Each structure stands twice: as C-alpha cells, then as structure tokens.
Amino acid sequence: MPRYNPATIEPKWQAFWDEHQTFASPRLPEGEKMYVLDMFPYPSGDGLHVGHPEGYTATDIVCRAARMQGKSVVHPMGFDAFGLPAEEHAIKTGEHPRVQTEQNIATFRRQLKMLGFSFDWSRELATTDVEYFHWTQWIFLKLYDTWFDDDQQKGRPINELPIPKEVSADGKDAIREYQDDHRLAYQSEAPVNWCPALGTVLANEEVIHGKSERGNHPVERRALRQWMLRITAYASRLEDDLESLDWPEGVKALQRNWIGRSTGAEVDFFLATDDTSNDNWRDSRAKIGFPRKPGDQVLRVYTTRPDTLFGATYMVIAPEHPLVEQLTTSENAEAVKTYCDLAAAKSDLDRTELAKEKTGVFTGSFATNPVNGERIPIWIADYVLVSYGTGAIMAVPAHDERDFEFAKQFNIPIQPVVAPGDSTSEEERSAILAGEQVFAGHGTAINSGDFNGLATADFKEKITAWLTDQGLGRQAINYKLRDWLFSRQRFWGEPFPILHELDDAGEKTGRVQAVDIADLPVDLPHLDDFKPHGRPEPPLDKAPDEWLYPVIDGVRYKRETNTMPQWAGSCWYYLRFLDPTNTEALVDPEIEKAWMPIDLYVGGAEHAVLHLLYARFWHKVLFDRGVISTPEPFQKLVNQGMILGSNNEKMSKSRGNVVNPDEVVKEYGADSLRLYEMFMGPLEQTKPWNMEGVNGVYGFLNRVWRMILDENSEPIALNPTISDALPTEEQNRILHKTIKAVTGDIAKLSFNTAIARMMEFTNFYTKQESRPRDAMQQFVLLLSPFAPHMAEELWQAMGYEKSLAKEAWPAYDEAMLVESEIEIPVQFKGKVRTKIKIPAEANKNQIEALALADARVKELLAGKEILKTIVVPGRLVNFVVKG
RNA sequence: GCCGGAGUGGCGGAAUUGGCAGACGCGCUGGAUUCAAAAUCCAGUGGGCUUCGGCCCGUGGGGGUUCAAGUCCCCCCUCCGGUACCA
C-alpha cells in the first residue's frame, strides 16, 4: 500500500457514498430518531469559508456516530438563496439573479461534497425553488388568515374572530376592516427605515446605529405602506417557552432582552384642570372603571414605577403622539410645530446616539395627577418614543435618570418620594432627599400620603390595586419587541400572494384579496432589467401587465409588488427537509410528527435573535393552526464560535487573512481540514486559524495510517506488527479508555478532547511491537466520524467490503479500565513532596499505612509532628505537619 | 450604562466540578537517519534558584474560606459579543 494520499481516497469514498446512497434517511424514522440540522448557508459568490465547515463537521460527527449507535438520523442541507448580492449582480449585468444563484449553489454543493459530510442530498432544497416558495407563500396566507385570541393566547382562523355589534352594524366593509386590523399579516402606513442607497426599507433589526447593517448606508424615516407581521401578539409565549429549550443561557438572555417584557401600570391623567370637572370625572371613573381606549379627555401613560406617582412633576408625550395638536395652546403652537417637524426629520441616529442633551417644548397644557390632584405641565420631548407603551409618560425626575436630566435642563421641580435603604451613604441620602441626586432603586415611600412607609414592591402592588379599584389605572405589560416589518422593495424575493382590487379608474380601492391557494405559487415575472428606480416603489412595478394586472371574475387587480425579506425562507426550511417533494402539503403531518423537533441545531451566534425568533414565531402560528405538532422547533441549540485569521482578526478579504477550504483540502485533504477544525478548541469558542495546526493533525493521520498499514508495500498490506495475538492488559486498558473517552466526548460535543484521546491511543500503539487486529479495527471505527475517508479506506484494507457507516459503535468494558496498581501523590501541607504506589482498590487505612511505610515519606516526616492526615482513596494522601 | 461570555506556558488549548496545573497539538532545543534537505524517529521543553538531593514562585489583580483553590466567596482590572433614552 502506498503512502497516505487523501487526493485519491477522498473522491473515491465520496463517489461510493453517493452511489450507494449511504446517508439517505427513511421517510419515517426506524427506531430512535435524531434530527440534526445545520443553519443552511447563503450561497455567496465567494464560496465556502472555513467558518462554514466548523459547525458542519461537528454535526457530521454527531450524525455518523449516532448512525453507528443504531439511531435513525435525518441530516439535510440546503440553501438560503434569496438575497441582495444576487440582485445587485443582476442590476449590474442584466442577467437574471437566478442564474448567478444557481452557479453559486453549484459551487457550494461541490465544496460541501468535497468535505465528505454525510448529508442526505436527496432532500436538498433552496428557498428560491419555485416549489419551495410556493409553500412560503402558503404560510404567508396562513398568517393572513389568522388572528390572535388574547384570552386563549392562541392564533385562530380569521372567520372565528368575534365581530362587535357596533362594527357589524356598519356593514360589510366595516367588518372587513375590523378583520384586517386583527390579522397576523397586515398593512401599515407607519414610518419605516428607508435606505436610499439600497433602494429599500429595512427592518428595525437591520439598522445598526442609524446605518444599514448591510453596507453601512444612511437610513432615513419615511411613511410607506408596508406589510407587517404581528409577532408582538406572540411575545409572551415566545418568552415563556424559552424555558423549555436546551439552548445556551446567553442566547436565551438575548431573546428575553429583545422581547423586553416589563410589568407596570397604565394610568390616566385627566386633562381638564378645573376642580369640578376633575371630581366629576373621578366619580364617573369609579363607576364605569378603566376604559379600553383612553379617549381625548385623558392622557394615558405607562409606568413600571406606579409607586412614584406622587413624585410626578411633569408629563411628556412623544412628538408623534395623537394628542399633540389638542394639547398645544395657541401661544405655544409655533414652538411646538418647529420642534415636532425637527424631530420628524431626525434620523434614529440623531435621536439617540448624538442626542446626549435632552430637548423638549412645553405644550401650554396641564394634566391632573390622579393620586393627589396636582396640576402638572405637559411637555413634548423626543426622548419619549411613540412606539412604546402609550407614547406618553409621567415624569418622576427624582427617580428616573432621563427625567432628572430633563428636569434639570428645564428647571422643573424635583420631588423625591422614595428614600433609599441603609446601604446608601449619608451624603448620598441627603442629596437624594434634597432632589439633587437621582435615585432609581427600590426603597421606602415618602411624601406619598397614606402610602408613606411602604417598601417599593408593596407600594406598587397596593397602588395598582387602588388605581384599578378607582378606574384610574390597571396593571399592564409592555414589550420592547415591535411588529415585524415584512416587505422589501426588491425583485429577488418571494412575491406576496396578495391582490389589490382596482376601481374603474385603475386606482386601488383599498380592498385586498388573497390569491387562491389553488393558484399558488405566484412566480416572479420576467423583467427586462433589474435596476431600482430610487423611489420606494418596488422593481416589480415594472413587471409586464399580464403579470401585474390579473382579472378575476371580471374584477381587475394589481398584484402586490413588494417581496418578502430573506428571513422568510429560513423560517420554516427545517420542516420542508422532512418532506421536500410533497405537492399536497408543506409537510406530511405523519412525517412531521415522527421527526420533529430538531434534536440538535448548530449555527452562528449572529442568528441568536432574529432568525431564531422569527422561526419560532412562524412555528407557533403553524402549531396553533394545526399544521404541525410541536410548539417549538429547535430543542437543542449550539452556536459554533467564529474562526479568526492567524493574526487573531476577523477573516476578511480586506485584511488578506482569509483561508480558502479548497486550498486546505488540496494540500492536506478533507479529513485533515475536518480534524483540524475540531481540534482547534471548543466548538463554541472563537479561535484563530493556524496552518501549522493543520499540518499537525495531518501528521497524526499519517501516523494512524502507518500504525495500521505497511507504507512500503505496494499491494495493500497491513503493518506487519498487526496480528491476532491476544491484547495485553495494558493494551486493552488503553483501548477501552479511549472508547469510553471518545464516546463521552462526542456526546458532550467536546471534539477537541476526543481527538486528543485518539492521539494518545496512537502514541501508545505505535510503540507496540504487537498490535492486536481487533484494537486497530475498533480504533478505526472511533476515528471514522472525524476522518471518514481514511477510516473507510483502512476498514477496506482490513478486509471489509461494506462501508463502516453502519457498523456497530465500539463498546467499552468498565472492567478493562481498572488498573491494579496506581501512583498517588503524598502531600505535606497541601504540597506534593513525593509519590507512592498503591493497589488501586486500597482503602483509607491501607493507604495511610503504605504512605507511612514509604522510605521517602519517613525521611520527610523525620522530626515533625503529624497533626492530621487526609486520605482520599485513589487520589492522594496529605499530611498536615508541624515543625 | 445594562445584559451575556471569557482571561491558564512562546501559541491553540486540557484539567472527575475542590484533590498531582499545563493532557493533546503547534513551536522551539538537542540527538538519530541523510552527501544534504524534506519527511520520519528518539529525548527535552512554565519561570527562577540549586550543593543536582531538591527548593521557591506560578492559572488577569487584591483579599477570604479550606488539610487542599484554575475550580468556591467578596472587591477590582482587561478583552470579546449583544444592546442602548423601551418610562
């Protein structure tokens, strides 16, 4: 047999696996099921990056080992292929984005196969496949057809939405509007992040510090008609269900943080300020209770600190608040208009990052504090966001950092109502009580009427109950999470299966019609060119009339010309993998039930919030609507760490530190690349690439090769040291130790230590003059998930005709692990001074006796008094001595 | 600021969850082999001191608990990721 040559054996085995469909999984699991998924890649023009194979190798090892352990494994791969780069290429060249997308997919597929991953390629899909986005559109229609029942906390069909009498009294259009207002997919005119450079609007999540996440272009706010998904309806369940998931705590924390649940109270402040009407209002409220909608007689605020109500010295509404006009008195009108116009023109960057100083303007109006009847001024300031809570706050400068700053700026009184606890210094305490320092912590109520002396938590509870009782407020929960802006002004995305009804003049009537399920998919039309026009109207507005203006039952419609964001396709691909060719349903319920949920999901931490939250949201809607059987898709999640360049910096073309997997494979082979990626360090850790390290594992594979094969013999021949002789006790112990360690390490995804154990095995056995055949075979099986090509080659050389992919995983015998004699340290006052040999099973007394009998120990003990002796059987002896 | 994660040799990293710090690999040093080199093999490799027996110091820094601390507790520093007026 010649020397180890990955360039010949790797393609050989890849072809073998392909030809024999070695890794095709059955329709339904046979025995214990395991669904292992990698986050599918976006097929960029640059091809695979060394970061990709890290997670893919990890899951591949898990899958290969699981198959050998008798599990039924499904392990698919596909492509998240919609996206801006392909469209930008199309804009430049005029070539359809599908052409480039398919070329890129071909490159990715070739590279993935080159690395020997055990994917079931018969399940491959791309989000851009028309038959795939057929079902993406189908799910959109499900969202469109669903409303969220708050009482049941569940998505239900829109035709089950109860219609209030006053709505149905107004006729069909009113009912339709009411329904549209409750759908999970709805249209909105709200201001959005319009990015002129990209020619599209962006989701809040795609804007980082006022710039586009992609390309870092400036983003401005503009009102546009957009499709939104009501993810906020699921906020509570999305948060609660995190608990049931085996995910890194950090990722759960990120999602919780993003959802941002807070509990507090809504409180109404009466707007008219004469005493009589205020009293009347309070009386009526005590009778009718707290109304659902505030109306224009009151200013409704949300606060997490209702216990500070007595300290509210002014109020603030957002510049976009609906009551701005009503509350502005004529002498303040000009200043208010100037301020609001300025705020509207400000980008998010100006409003947050740069705005260290608080700004605002007085409306001229006052409101009455419901707890003490005090009249307090109403201001407008852009530090209050219209999109959170009620868009209005009660300001308590003594106990809120932001309000404190504002009050200082505009000379508004500061009234302390919470005294800090004992841990606060006397100086600080008096500063707080004098209103010179802000205190946002919990403490004891002061200046709060009957509530004085209450602890913050008690006060919150009592005042909320009181407010509820008086009809002045109620407990409320708010989320930072916003509804998901779901439309993009792009060509290369899924078309919405939505039609806008047109009147005789060709204008939109405002009525919207879902495309009939039977007419799905709505394919993308042919375009002569793909250039955006720099206006917010999407490129699909340039589509030919026969696509753009369908006529159904004599009514003329215009198709929706927005397309879906890239997230759409990745929200549900894991379901389609289970049943990729089904033409009747997105997935056969029997199949879905058998394979879901995903037992292991591996991907980059950059998807910790968005992809994982969006997918969970869709999953829950599909679950509520009975399409699927599990409430959560991804039971266990692992984030692989980033791989840095050898200079410890992020890999990038501009830094010139990018490592190309093709070149690594060419020089060392796929097995070495795989092994190195796993040997670098823990899967979840960020770690730098080091080409010497690849050379190191390549050396290891060469040693394995020579341990088993005779490198000098041209026909296949085992190394002459290999024989059927019985293994020695030590040989057996090493083998079984290795089996145990590698098996356990794979289960813990601790691949670096598993490889270290195999190296130790090899270091030991290459020194053995006689190598038992059985030990070598077991070792090859252990190695096979990591370096599958070499393992298959060695397996074949050992005389087997079939692939080892389904061979039984080696078992270890605990009895083989025990050593008869072990060496343990003898410590003096916790410091190792010498070592003694003891029988492995020796008990405390025996060990102590053996230690005391040892010559060196005697020497060390001379002239000293033993105060205490600690013996840990099998581990150590420690003498606490004096003198 | 807040929320996560991490600081161990020249480098990547190990360490039954309190029990011999530095497994394994890279690199480096010396040796064997070679005309020479590569490759391979053998030996060594945390720092300091040493009378060559050993001794002292060492897991970001400072305290503490313990017979025993990389591991547990308190305080602090640095780096990475996320987030940023969410009332």
pLDDT reading at A354 higher than 60: no
CA A881 – C1' B54 distance (Å)?
Answer: 19
Tokens of A822: 């072990």
CA–C1' nearest nucleotide, residue A686: B80
Do A215 and A183 form a contact (C-beta atoms < 8 A)? no
CA–C1' nearest nucleotide, residue A706: B40
SS3 label, residue A110: helix
CA–C1' nearest nucleotide, residue A824: B20
Q: Give the Cα separation of A193 and A212 in Å (integer).
A: 9
* Domain-embedded: residue A612: no
H, E, C per residue of A822-874: EEEEEEECCEEEEEEEEECCCCHHHHHHHHHHCHHHHHHHCCCEEEEEEEECC
Same domain flag for A359 and A492: no
Q: Give the Cα separation of A810 and A805 in Å (integer).
A: 13
In the predicted model, what is the mean pLDDT of chain A? 91
> Which residue's C-alpha is at the least distance from the C1' of B4?
A250
Beta-sheet pairing, A443-445 with A418-420:
antiparallel
From A559, A579, A614, give the residue that closes a domain. Answer: A559
Residue A679 to residues A61, A684, A689, A692, Cα–Cα distance (Å): 13, 12, 11, 12
CA–C1' nearest nucleotide, residue A697: B25
* Domain-embedded: residue A300: yes
A477 compared with A861, residue with greater pLDDT: A477
Q: Give the Cα separation of A839 and A159 in Å (integer).
A: 78
pLDDT reading at A691 higher than 80: yes
CA–C1' nearest nucleotide, residue A610: B82
pLDDT in tens, A372-409: 999 999 999 999 988 899 999 999 999 999 999 999 99
CA–C1' nearest nucleotide, residue A684: B5
* Domain-embedded: residue A749: no
Q: Which of A476, A474, A446, A472 is nearest to A459 (CA)?
A: A446
pLDDT reading at A1 higher than 60: no
pLDDT in tens, A441-463: 888 999 999 999 999 999 999 99
In the chain, the amino acid numbered A435 is: G
Tokens of A382: 């852009």
- Sheet hosting strand A600-604, strand order edge to edge: A72-74, A33-38, A600-604, A637-640
DSSP string, A454-521: -BHHHHHHHHHHHHHHHTSEEEEEE-S---EE--BS-SSSPBP-EEEEE-TTS-EEEEEEEPPGGG--
* Domain-embedded: residue A378: yes
Range list of H helices, A352-425: 401-410
Q: Which of A39, A142, A140, A119 is nearest to A73 (CA)?
A: A119
- Supply the range of the domain harboring residue A844: 819-882
Same domain flag for A275 and A343: yes
Tokens of A832: 């190792």
Do A498 and A515 form a contact (C-beta atoms < 8 A)? yes
Return positions of chain B under 7 A from a protein CB. 3-5, 11-15, 19-21, 23-27, 39-42, 55-56, 67-69, 80-87
CA A834 – C1' B42 distance (Å)?
Answer: 28
CA A251 – C1' B72 distance (Å)?
Answer: 26
Residue A557: count other Cβ atoms within 10 Å of its Cβ: 21
* Domain-embedded: residue A687: no
| CATH at residue A423 | 3.90.740.10
Q: Give the Cα separation of A787 and A57 in Å (integer).
A: 10
Same domain flag for A461 and A324: yes
pLDDT reading at A347 higher than 70: no
What's chain A's Rg over C-alpha atoms? 35
Tokens of A357: 């100083």
pLDDT in tens, A141-191: 999 999 999 999 999 999 999 999 999 999 999 999 999 999 999 998 877
pLDDT in tens, A645-664: 888 888 888 888 889 999 99
A744: left (phi over 0), alpha (psi -120 to 50) or beta: alpha
**pLDDT class for A353, splitting at 50, 70, 90?**
low
Residue A114 host element (H or E): helix A97-114
Q: What is the largest CA-CA distance in chain A?
A: 112
Do A485 and A192 form a contact (C-beta atoms < 8 A)? yes
From A478, A508, A523, give the residue that closes a domain. Answer: A478
From A426, A461, A478, give the residue that closes a domain. Answer: A478
Q: Give the Cα separation of A527 and A537 in Å (integer).
A: 15
Residue A345 host element (H or E): helix A333-345
CA–C1' nearest nucleotide, residue A388: B86
> Which residue's C-alpha is at the least distance from the C1' of B13?
A681
**pLDDT class for A348, splitting at 50, 70, 90?**
low
Residue A771 to residues A611, A776, A815, Cα–Cα distance (Å): 51, 7, 21
Q: What is the b/e burial string over A432-445, where b = at least 16 CB atoms within 10 angstroms of the residue's CB?
A: bbebebbbeebbbb
* Domain-embedded: residue A230: yes
> Which residue's C-alpha is at the least distance from the C1' of B68?
A830
A747: left (phi over 0), alpha (psi -120 to 50) or beta: alpha
CA A739 – C1' B67 distance (Å)?
Answer: 36
pLDDT for A672 equals 97
Same domain flag for A232 and A342: no
CA A661 – C1' B41 distance (Å)?
Answer: 31
| Number of H-type helices and E-type strands within chain A | 31, 35
Same domain flag for A490 and A472: no
ipTM of the complex: 0.95
How many structural domains comprise chain A?
Answer: 3
A43-47: average pLDDT: 91
**pLDDT class for A204, splitting at 50, 70, 90?**
low
**pLDDT class for A317, splitting at 50, 70, 90?**
very high
* Domain-embedded: residue A552: yes
Same domain flag for A281 and A219: no
DSSP string, A178-218: HHHTTBSEEEE--EEEEETTTTEEE-GGGEETTEETTT--B
pLDDT reading at A223 higher than 80: no
pLDDT in tens, A11-30: 999 999 999 999 999 999 99
> Which residue's C-alpha is at the least distance from the C1' of B27?
A692
Q: Give the Cα separation of A579 and A120 in Å (integer).
A: 12
CA A486 – C1' B87 distance (Å)?
Answer: 28
pLDDT reading at A124 higher than 70: yes
Do A339 and A360 form a contact (C-beta atoms < 8 A)? yes
pLDDT reading at A213 higher than 80: no
Same domain flag for A456 and A539: no
SS3 label, residue A176: helix
* Domain-embedded: residue A403: yes
CA A439 – C1' B61 distance (Å)?
Answer: 32
CA A791 – C1' B15 distance (Å)?
Answer: 30
Per DSSP (E only), the strands in A304-442 are: 314-317, 361-368, 375-380, 392-395, 418-420
Same domain flag for A325 and A436: yes
Q: Give the Cα separation of A708 and A725 in Å (integer).
A: 15
Q: Which of A565, A612, A541 is nearest to A82 (CA)?
A: A565
Q: What percentage of chain A reaches a pLDDT higher than 90?
A: 71
Do A617 and A140 form a contact (C-beta atoms < 8 A)? no
For CA atoms A111, A117, A119, A122, give the dihedral sign: positive
pLDDT for A207 equals 67
CA A867 – C1' B60 distance (Å)?
Answer: 36
A93-118: average pLDDT: 95
Terminal C-alpha separation, chain A: 67
Place of tokens 């009525």: A511
pLDDT reading at A543 higher than 60: yes
CA–C1' nearest nucleotide, residue A254: B82
Q: Give the Cα separation of A388 and A304 in Å (integer).
A: 13
CA A799 – C1' B31 distance (Å)?
Answer: 40
Same domain flag for A276 and A309: yes
Tokens of A876: 């150590």
| CATH at residue A846 | 3.10.20.590
Do A600 and A525 form a contact (C-beta atoms < 8 A)? no
Same domain flag for A215 and A274: no
Same domain flag for A371 and A329: yes
CA–C1' nearest nucleotide, residue A316: B87
Same domain flag for A514 and A408: no
Do A205 and A169 form a contact (C-beta atoms < 8 A)? no
Beta-sheet pairing, A375-380 with A361-368:
antiparallel
CA A857 – C1' B53 distance (Å)?
Answer: 14
Q: Give the Cα separation of A857 and A389 in Å (integer).
A: 74
A613 compared with A713, residue with greater pLDDT: A613
